[in-house]
Chain A
Amino acid sequence: MSLKLKNAKRIEGLDKNVWIEFTKLAADPSVVNLGQGLPDISPPNYVKEELSKVAAIDSLNQYTRGFGHPSLVKALSCLYEKFYQNRIDPDKEILVTVGAYGSLFNAIQGLIDEGDEVIVIVPFYDCYEPMVRMAGATPVFIPLRSKPVDGKKWSSSDWTLDPQELASKFNSKTKAIILNTPHNPLGKVFTSSELQVIADLCIKYDALCISDEVYEWLVYTGNKHLKIATFPGMWERTVTIGSAGKTFSVTGWKLGWSIGPKHLIKHLQTVQQNSVYTCATPLQEALAQAFWIDIKRMDDPECYFNSLPKELEVKRDRMVRLLESVGLTPIVPDGGYFIIADVSLLDADLSDMKDSSEPYDYKFVKWMTKNKKLSAIPVSAFCNAETKSQFEKFVRFCFIKKDSTLDAAEAIIKAWKRQAS
């Protein structure tokens, strides 16, 4: 094989991907798939209708504005101005990207240089590490740590960052910290004081904050989603990322956005004009129309931003009970659509799972998929090499699933329980 036809250095070591392996495993139709984070429920009817309407409009089949379809950036500006103290310029302070994934890529490629350090909170949505490495930068990891729970229900809010430990990760090379709230996979919703600690450090070290807020609407009773960009001194150093896929349960539309000050967004726009140039027109128009419908009824329980979290909270509570009933210790998420559970107490017999070099949770998920026909995702997939052992007894379940899927999961779990007793 020719030496010259090899890959560029920037992708060296970044070829592995947890999803490729686990979605293949779960693809067996007899498996109840609570692994990958995609809804098997239908998006709301009005969202589907808007896309149908748009499909009939000829002009929407051609290129639109590269940085975002005009009606969409206008809708986003109008929606998000409600949450920020400043106006948001739809042309200069918003960029529409190929999913929130694309926004993360544009932000990292646009703002992170070789030799920079980027702080990543563990567990992390798995793409943060390879994206930071692809930009030639060094990820600096800090784990969330649980306080002792003492008999009460284990909640995602029990997991926190130690402020001193966090401060020790910042130095003059720190270009940015990646924040994810609500958090995947834990479901943690960062509180005001927790965000303040992060903000103070960003300001002190003149670091940027890339805030992945894709689950911003999925917050459960007793919790509030807060935007770190609204904290004093933070607007000018924060890029806030959102997702149509998670907002409207249309992950296959692959539309996301970055919002921030023009002096940051312009660099994301430069990446855009040299990578994909523009996103699909009909989807952007349909999304704009769907937003206008919900923007007009933000206080209405019918607004999807209100109705979806209500619907999901019920599913969350059902999952918590189910997991507890079979001896799995769940961590009740305050937001998002995942729940993680400690599976070690089950003490499952994984001896027939070969490859003892894999972390416990990888083996457990493969065993559970094969033997119980139930799939999930190992949480150590969301950890860097050094922290895998801290999280290898946890497994992540997705609960944005229709009732019949959860019924099937319940049947499996009940049968499992009967077998065990």
Chain B
Amino acid sequence: MGRSWAKSGPDRCGGGRQEPALLSAFWSSGLGRLWLESNCLPGSPGCCTTATLIFCLLCLQLAMAKRLPARRLDGIDHNPWVEFGKLASEADAVNLGQGFPDFPPPDFAVEAFQHAVSGDFMLNQYTKAFGYPPLTKILASFFGKFLGQEIDPLKNVLVTVGAYGALFTAFQALVDEGDEVIIIEPFFDCYEPMTLMAGGRPVFVSLKPCPTQDGELDSSSNWQLDPTELASKFTSRTKALILNTPNNPLGKVFSRAELELVASLCQQHDVVCITDEVYQWLVYDGYQHISIASLPGMWERTLTIGSAGKTFSVTGWKVGWVLGPDSLLKHLRTVHQNSVYHCPTQGQAAVAQSLEREQMLFGQPSSYFAQLPQAIQHNRDHMIRSLQSVGLRPVIPQGSYFLITDISDFKSKMPDLPGAADEPYDRRFVKWMIKNKGLVAIPVSVFYSVPHQKLFDHYIRFCFMKDESTLQAMDQKLQMWKDELRP
């Protein structure tokens, strides 16, 4: 009896309007039969009512909806970049939002990639899982010097899918349900969802600006952690602290003293330090990037993350790495071999060749690591001057691709910009600015934990890792804006 009911069902009810797959499941699950039995006696005409059919289909949908997503995805499905990326692409605006260069990579990097894709055809096949050997070798020898450490390419280096992949691998390897992870605000936005996905609990501590002299521009060096407050965040459940220097979005380059503070707390509380140093070469005004792993007692508890994308202006190659002690890296290797297993070979070969070139030229004026920060510092200074002309107050960054600007004056002059009820001011300001002034930036509240967003809703982030023509286009937009400001 069951089979014949199933066969007759869709025809009787003209249910062809509905998604066929749902209907077939309706019949094969037995719900269809129940529905028929409750509504239709064999032979009776026109017994189908749309209402009962819809009701049964709804029941089926609920029944089918065994909870689909895994719980580890709770609260992390939203991504701010998707929204702002879309807005930026829709408007005819100068994109100073997302952090990637709009100028070409250096010739030697492009050549290295061309060499990797046109040479030995076996580079089209898998390489070693934990890193293409010439790459792990050069990473070990190059960074060994900076970290003051003997680095073994097999034990102390892991190549990952970008620094993003390195962060993910580190969190998955070490953070357990209930572990606390100290995150310094403002933070690169992925640190929080990655902590949550690993079942961890983010504990936030904010960098706060010290008051500046009237008329002087603020600097990222002025934004500091309160030592007492920082110390209070460490508990017996603290598993890791994530450090980002140079910092995105602020551009802060942590000083030796500041790193020593973080280091002593990590050692005192036996905490792992995950340090995101992707912008290590983008340091200005003679400041020095210092890797916390080079401080006494820190190598054995630090994972140092780097990025080829930011190092060589090739964000699309997605090659990153982690350096650290074998006792920690072995756990990252376990995650790696159970998630992506291998990274693409040719990108790694190109990065290896590029790093070999930089190692040879290190310290010389022709080195990319010397030339790039010089060139980008000009961009930074240009942008700082230009932004001030419309009443934006930039915070001078010591490093990275970014600077943040204070929009408090605008907040007081035009507090009621369109937006959702609880939407932080900076997001509403950015949307207004994209639409009306043709400039894209990123609201800094995106880089803060939800409870703190209202405290830091008066800053927006600009990226100056852009071509001269982009900065000129920015100047044009700013000039128009300035003209509109005149009474």
Contacts and interface: CB of A to CB of B under 8 A. Distances in A.
B327 A251 contact: no
Interface string B309-323: 100011111100000
Contacts of B104: 58, 61
B126 A1 contact: no
B168 A275 contact: yes
Contact of B168 (A38, A127, A274): A274
Interface string A18-51: 0110000000000000001011101100001001
B328 A5 contact: yes
A2 B69 CA distance: 35
A233 B21 contact: yes
Nearest to A64: B316
Nearest to B105: A61
Interface stretch (A130-138, A153-161, A326-334, A411-419): A130-138
A280 B316 CA distance: 5
Nearest to A250: B124
A55 to B, nearest CB: 5
Contact of A48 (B24, B118, B330): B118
Contacts of B402: none
Given A7-B331, A8-B173, A101 B344 contact: no
A251 to B, nearest CB: 5
Contacts of A112: 70
Contact of B73 (A1, A8, A270): A270
Contact of A232 (B21, B29, B102, B161): B21
A172 to B, nearest CB: 9
Contacts of B126: 36, 38, 245, 251-252
A283 interface: yes
A98 B340 CA distance: 6
Nearest to B165: A276
A277 B346 contact: no
B340 A102 contact: yes
A105 B337 contact: no
Given A252-B344, A276-B340, A280-B316, A206 B334 contact: no
Nearest to B79: A273
A281 interface: yes
Contacts of A64: 316
A260 to B, nearest CB: 11
A277 B164 contact: yes
Contacts of A274: 76, 168, 190, 193-194, 197
A249 B121 CA distance: 11
B117 A11 contact: no
A410 interface: no
A52 B123 CA distance: 13
A15 interface: yes
B244 interface: no
B127 A252 contact: yes
Contact of A11 (B82, B124, B127, B331): B331
A60 B117 CA distance: 14
Nearest to A269: B77
A7 B173 contact: yes
B76 A63 contact: no
Interface in A120-172: 127, 130-131, 134-135
A11 B125 contact: no
Contacts of B81: 66
Given A48-B117, A203-B25, A105 B172 contact: no
A382 B193 CA distance: 34
Nearest to A280: B318
A219 interface: no
B341 A127 contact: yes
Contacts, number: 238
Interface in B65-97: 66-73, 76-77, 79, 81-82
Interface in B5-55: 20-22, 24-25, 28-29
Interface string B323-347: 0000110110111011111111111
A276 B168 contact: yes
Given A7-B174, A282-B113, A276 B161 contact: yes
A277 B31 CA distance: 41
Contacts of B339: 101-102, 105, 275
Nearest to B190: A274
A21 to B, nearest CB: 12
A99 interface: yes
Nearest to A249: B124
Given A113-B71, A232-B21, A270 B77 contact: yes
A204 B164 contact: no
B331 A130 contact: no
Contact of A5 (B28, B301, B346): B301
Contacts of B441: none
- Band of interface residues on A: 35 or more
B352 interface: no
Contacts of B197: 274
Given A8-B331, A55-B110, A43 B121 contact: yes
A5 B168 contact: no
Contacts of B190: 274, 277
A296 interface: no
B230 interface: no
Contact of B334 (A14, A98, A203, A245): A14
B327 A62 contact: no
Contact of A281 (B161, B165, B316): B316
A111 B317 contact: no
Contact of B24 (A98, A130, A232, A279): A232
Nearest to B111: A55
B380 interface: no
Contact of B176 (A8, A130, A252): A8
A244 to B, nearest CB: 10
A294 interface: no
A253 B25 contact: no
Nearest first, the 9 A-B pairs at minimum CB distance are A281-B316, A252-B345, A58-B104, A7-B331, A276-B161, A98-B340, A267-B69, A42-B121, A275-B168
Interface of A: 1-2, 4-11, 14-15, 17, 19-20, 36, 38-40, 42-43, 48, 51-52, 55-56, 58, 60-64, 66, 98-99, 101-102, 105, 109-114, 127, 130-131, 134-135, 175, 200, 203-204, 206, 232-236, 245, 249-255, 263-264, 266-267, 270-271, 273-283
Interface of B: 20-22, 24-25, 28-29, 63-64, 66-73, 76-77, 79, 81-82, 98, 100-105, 109-110, 113-114, 117-118, 121-127, 129, 161-162, 164-165, 168, 172-177, 179, 190, 193-194, 197-198, 239, 270-272, 301, 309, 313-318, 327-328, 330-331, 333-335, 337-347
21 contacts: A1-B327, A6-B331, A8-B176, A8-B331, A9-B176, A11-B334, A15-B330, A43-B121, A51-B117, A61-B113, A61-B315, A62-B101, A63-B100, A206-B29, A236-B22, A252-B125, A254-B345, A270-B77, A274-B168, A279-B161, A283-B344
